[in-house]
Amino acid sequence: IRIGVGIDQITLGGNTVANLRGDISTDAQGWNLDRFEFRAPGFTQVRLSGHLAVGADGVAFAGPAEIEAGDPKALAAWLEGRVETAHSELRPLSLRGELTLASDRVAAERLKAEFDHRTISGRLAYVFAAANRPAKLDAELNAPELDIDAALGFGKALLADSDFKRPHDMTIAADIGRATMAGIEARNASARLKLDADGLQIDRLSVGDLGGGAF
């Protein structure tokens, strides 16, 4: 089956999706989306192409995607099936990379993100909590400049009222050219950390310049 789609407005997940355009085809493995784009809640423009698999355990998407959200919190609420009523003061967020969305995980490879006029690249994978395992986060991030306080505040506000569980197992690798936290500036920071039920394991933690010193 091959279908060309052009829908000006459609109701999906209790909200309006506008200007839906793209081509759909099917094969034995599921649906293929080609040059798919639409406007989603949160003043969001989405462009993607890839594979949409529909099975007994739910729907899964994998493929390149580009997302530009004026109100990321409203977008996150819509994706979770929630109604966002509070006024959001979050700043615009843009994302692009190889995206995977499934019932058990959200992942982005070759990720490039921009918020607060700062860029971050790398990869990110979040595995949802299940009966036999806690939520898990695996991240590898690179940034020429990062305000850690602003980034943490952004993440906290974005996930407020969300069903996302705080990950108990985390593996994080980060390389930051210039980082600021609580008014303290650090340059050439590099970290390789793992946190799980056994505690915190530090494989590497170094700062090239911290107030004139280094460690």
Per-residue model confidence (pLDDT) at position 85: 60
Per-residue model confidence (pLDDT) at position 99: 95
Contact 61, 108 (CB under 8 A): no
Distance, CA of 88 to CA of 132 (rounded, Å): 35
Per-residue model confidence (pLDDT) at position 50: 94
Per-residue model confidence (pLDDT) at position 82: 76
Phi and psi at 140, nearest 5°, equal -135, 115
What end-to-end distance do the CA atoms of the chain give, in Å? 60
Residue 191, token pair as written in the block: 């970290």
Query: Measuring CA to CA, which residue among 34, 101, 92, 38 is closest to residue 68?
Result: 92
Per-residue model confidence (pLDDT) at position 115: 83
Contact 48, 64 (CB under 8 A): yes
Q: What is the mean pLDDT of each run of 10 residues along the chain (215 residues)?
A: 94 90 89 92 93 83 94 83 66 92 92 88 92 89 90 77 78 93 88 91 92 87
- Mention every residue, 6+ apart, whose C-beta is less than 8 A from residue 72: 42, 88, 90, 92, 93, 158
Per-residue model confidence (pLDDT) at position 84: 66
